[in-house]
Amino acid sequence: MDVDRGMRTIKMPTLGGPREITHHKEIIEHLNKVTGSKFKPSTPSTVTLINSLFRAKFTLRDIKGVIDLKCKEWGDTDLEKYLRPQTLFNINKFDGYLQEFNKKPTNKAWTLFDKEWSQ
């Protein structure tokens, strides 16, 4: 795996050749912004989790939407401690989180997210 220092591009070998995966830094910056955390996009476990989501064909919009939804739901509760890459980007739970996000197109997290993406 090739990792550049800016974490903008990661090349992962696949059966069909190298695959470029981008947006790691953008995803972690978004998570840090909405949670007030200081996660690093270069942490190997975080890179692996995000790569698994992209390999499963989830999009940047999906990932940011789940972050926004869970921050709205879990912020200022006992679940706030789970607003971290290990929980949010877990491939076994991510689709369920995304289904919740997609079921609630009128919720505040979705509305804020959609406004951000339409700019």
User: Which has more pLDDT, 14 or 102?
Assistant: 102
**Which band of pLDDT confidence, cut at 50, 70 and 90, is reported for residue 18?**
very low
Sign of CA dihedral 33, 30, 24, 54: positive
Mean pLDDT within 67-88: 95
Does the pLDDT value for residue 15 go beyond 80? no
| Average pLDDT rounded to a whole number, residues 69-83 | 95
SS3 115: helix
116 vs 94, which has greater pLDDT? 94
Q: Which of 20-24, 48-52, 53-57 has the lowest mean pLDDT?
A: 20-24
How many helices and strands, by DSSP H and E, does the chain display? 6, 3
Total residues belonging to the chain: 119
Which sign does the torsion angle of CA 35, 54, 44, 95 carry?
positive
> 65 and 98 in contact (C-beta within 8 Å)?
yes
pTM of the predicted structure, to 2 decimals: 0.73
- pLDDT value of residue 103: 83
